[in-house]
Every structure is written in structure tokens, then in C-alpha cells.
Structure 1
């Protein structure tokens, strides 16, 4: 079999660039020697330096541009869509760009894939589309009940992907993961933001009572899960990629404070976020049946992440 041609949208961002690095390092035998094209709008969260030195083509563009999609999608064997607006607070302040990219952009990309006859497509999504769960874990057939504009936009994109699979037979699968962490994450998300502030001697803001619970997955494990779905996922199906630690935000803040040489005085309670989901939890048995298991223990992954930012003060805000 010839080495595949892969199009990675959002490939200059945090998760996408990790995936590209893994592919080009031949960490995924099925994609060994792959030729990679990256499409990225290069917003504030997309950083070409994440791809420095990598043998890939970077196309600067927007997945909402259907003519651009029609120009670059043909000839690729696999298309993986990491492109998204993803920060909940920004979506609460102004939802328009989230709807544009996460809904209309997905439709534009999938239409181009349909017209090109792309053999394999993966839509990368989030556990936030389910809303909030007090106990237990969501299975892939749980109803979608998003509670933030970001989550609603991602749910819309997922439903479009499913519709293209059912209506048109497009071979697109959907992945949904927990909260990602690791190096190269733009410091607006909680872990790099807290590390940045703590290392700079500032306090960190903890929403509400701090008891909101999240499932944490290292970015390398997330990318391994996406790769498995790209290789073996069924069209129209959803696959969960869960992490290795379920923590309250208060527990996470305390761990980060200790890792950065601070104490609990560095944690400041602030007014809760609007519509703040209480807890996320994914049942990942479906993906595990395909051979997936997370490899990065949370304690090790968190320590390595703190060190990465500590060694790079230019990444702090």
C-alpha cells in the first residue's frame, strides 16, 4: 500500500499539531511515510511554530471557504478535522464565530469531501455536547444537550457529520474526548493559564465553589484515539476518548499550585461561569474494544506539562 495523503485541518493548533508530529514521526504504523497537508486559519490559537521543522505543507485558509476546500481536499486519502473555535468563555461573550466555524465550516469541509470522494473523514468533537451528568458516564448514544454556545456549535457540526454519513454515505466518523492537556496549549485553557499565572507569582481564578468535575486526557492519548478511529472507525459512528483522571477544578488547582511551588493562598474564588456544566464523564468501552487504552498517567503528564511551560516563559500570559 502506498503511503497515504492526509489533510489535517486546524493542524497548527494545540491538538492538531500534536497529531501531525506523531504522524510524521511514524508513530502510527498504518500511516508510515504519510504526506501531510495542513489547513489552518492561523487565529490567535494557531501557531506555525508548532510545526517548525516538520516536512509538511501549510495552507493558510478557512474551512468555511468552500472553493478553497474544493481546491485542496481532492487527492487526500484521509481528512481529519481539528479546526474549531473551542473556548467556552469566548463563546459566551460572542457566539458568532463559533457557529460559523464549528457548524458552517464543518458543512463546507464535508461537502468538499463528498464531491472529492474522500475515502476517510474524522470529525473531532468534545464531551461538552452532552451537557452535564451528575453520576455515571455517557455512552455514545446519549442525547445531545449542550449548555454553552461552544458546545451547541460542536453538537451542530456533529449532527451535520452524521447526516452526511447517513444521507450521502460519506465515510465520516466522530470522536468525542474529555479535557485535553499537554505542551503547546494556548494559555487561555485552565491548565496552561494556571501554570502561567502561578509561575509568574500571580493568583489563579477558580469559578464558583470549584466542585465542577472534568475528565483529563493527555493530548498524546487523544491523538492515538483519533488515529485508531481514522484506521478502524465505522462511518457514521461516534467514539469516545476518555482520560486517566477525573478531578474537581478545586483539586486540579491545588495540584497545579503545589507543582508550581505555591500554596492554596494562590487560589482565588471568583463568580461562576454562566451555564457552567457540573460534571463530564465518558464511557470509552467502544473505543477500547478496538484496542485503545490511554498510556500517559495523569501525574506524569501534568508534571511534564508544568516543566514544559516553566522552561518557556515566552508562552506565559
Structure 2
């Protein structure tokens, strides 16, 4: 078992949704955290700007770009553990700019793996996604399920996963791949369905604009997902493995929206918005995780129910509605 306390740990994509929650968790464990945030001329650190001062003061924030190898190499040097979360993640935007996903998700991941190999990093946790499975060919989906590139985004993540696999098999790089199913919670952007629905409701809209309501998803609260990352990093058994992080439960988008409306205690109407509907062959119709491997290897299982997570998410969005542009479609 890897004890993360006092370990030097790098989190790429630390400025993002899951990354910022993971940074908070690592600091609470006593890790020495370096957070890689994407460089920008505004000198903003994404969601890290919103974490408590007592947490942020314990974090070394470095700005850079995983597409640039020399910069990646500098920040990886001296680290004991690397959590690689940096990626382009929005599926709709991948239809518009596929090459950006190749450069960030495949080439960027390769840069991280190469740097970790050069500096003999003790453990790398690479972030995959349930989207690599595409529409379920059988359920629940275990790690042996075929991968299907149903969008440029999912294809780029498949490529990144295979690079991680190749570094383990070719160079004995100690990499584990975590494959989170649909994570939600505070700080998630409105490109995802849950904050899209909640932000529209809380902004006073009487008609909620959505795409298809029939697909099913396996939703997981972000604090549970962050804990799964920790458990995968701590376990020696996960090296060379791909592990699903999911709840083993599914709900349709339609039923999910009805649940959010009920918790919010609002009266709204759902209307279709064509621009929010994926191309027919690109839509992933069903995702349901088999999480038996991660339970066996790490002991992890979700602690939040969907209702508990939604209530916390609604409360947070209500307090931070200014971050959301609910009147436009967020790619």
C-alpha cells in the first residue's frame, strides 16, 4: 500500500471539476501537493481559486500546458505520485475540433507518461472515462467490455488509455487507469446535464431545454469519485489495471430530471433543444458500471446516494449561480 501522507504529489488538471476536489482531499491527507493548472493570461487557477484559503495555502500551483513536453517534464521532476486528470472533456466541442482532443488527450497524456518514466515516478493514476465503452453491449459494464469510439472525445480517450497501457507493458511504468462513470457535483460546468438542469431551474426558467431523455447513466458524486482516485493510488494491486469507478446503478435522463425538479420544489416544463442532441450514431444510450474490480482491489464503494449528492449540488449551484450562463447552450 502507498501511504500518500507527506508524499510529493502532482495533480494535472487540478484547476478543473474533479481535480480541485482531489486536491482538497490530498491536502487533508497531509500530502505535499503540486497543482498543474492550464496557463492563461488572466493568471486564474480555475476552481482552485474558489477553495478555502487554508487548503490553497498548502498547495503549490504551477501553470502550464500538458501539450508542451519540456514544461511537463519540469513539473513532474521530484514527484512521488502523479494523478493525471488534465484533458479536453466536452463531447459537443469534440465534434467541432477533433484535432484539439488528439493533441491534448493523446499527445498530452504521452508527455505525462514519458516524463514520469524519465523521473521514475512511483505511481501514476491516469484518468479515463466511461465514454470509452460507448453504448453498452451488455450490462453491467465491466473492464473487459469493448471500447467504442462514438465521438472524437471518446476516441481520444481510448487512445490515451492505450498509451498508458503500452507504457506499463513496454516499460513497466507503474500506471493505473481509473475509469469514472458520470461524475457530478459542485464546480461541474453547465456542459453536463445535472448542472444544466439545476442552473436553468434556479435562474427562474419555466421551460428547461434538454436533449434526449431516454439514455441511462451511472451517476457518482464528486466526493466519492475523488475518494476512488485516492484508493486507486494507494493500492499496489491496481498497477497495470483498468478499474471502473461507478455506483452499479442507472437512471434515465428523464427520470433524473424529474428527481431534480422534485428536490428543487419547482414547477417547470421540459422542452427539446435540437442543438443539445448528439448525432444518432454518436449517442451513448446506456451506461451502467460493474464496480466489482475496484471493490476487490481497493475496497472503494460510493458513500453518497443520488438524492444526497443532488441536494448538495443544488445548494452549491444556488449559492454560485453567477458562474452559470443558463440562457445559452454551453458546449
Q: TM-score range by the shorter chain?
A: over 0.9
The question of 1:273 aligning with 2:281 is answered no
Distance 1:279 1:45 in 2: 35
The question of 1:50 aligning with 2:50 is answered yes
Q: How does 1:103-118 map to 2 (within 5 A)?
A: 103-118=106-121
| CA RMSD across the alignment | 1.8
What is the aligned partner in structure 1 of residue 36 from structure 2? Answer: 39
Runs of 5+ unmatched residues, structure 1: 27-32
Distance 1:285 1:191 in 2: 26
| Aligned-residue offset at 1:262 | 2.6
What is the aligned partner in structure 2 of residue 248 from structure 1? Answer: 252
Distance 2:52 2:247 in 1: 28
What is the aligned partner in structure 1 of residue 87 from structure 2? Answer: 84
Paired residues, number: 309
What is the aligned partner in structure 1 of residue 329 from structure 2? Answer: none
| Aligned-residue offset at 1:313 | 2.4
Runs of 5+ unmatched residues, structure 2: 326-331
CA distances 1:120-145 after superposition (whole Å, capped 9, x unpaired): 00101111101111541221122211
Distance 1:101 1:249 in 2: 29
| Aligned-residue offset at 1:110 | 0.5
Sort the Cα spacing of 1:145 and 1:244 in 2 relative to 1 into closer, same or farther, 3 A. Answer: closer
Given the two structures, how large is their TM-score scaled by the length of structure 1? 0.92
Given the two structures, how large is their TM-score scaled by the length of structure 2? 0.89
Sort the Cα spacing of 1:45 and 1:34 in 2 relative to 1 into closer, same or farther, 3 A. Answer: closer
Distance 1:120 1:51 in 2: 26
Distance 2:166 2:138 in 1: 30
Distance 1:197 1:264 in 2: 10
Distance 1:185 1:45 in 2: 15
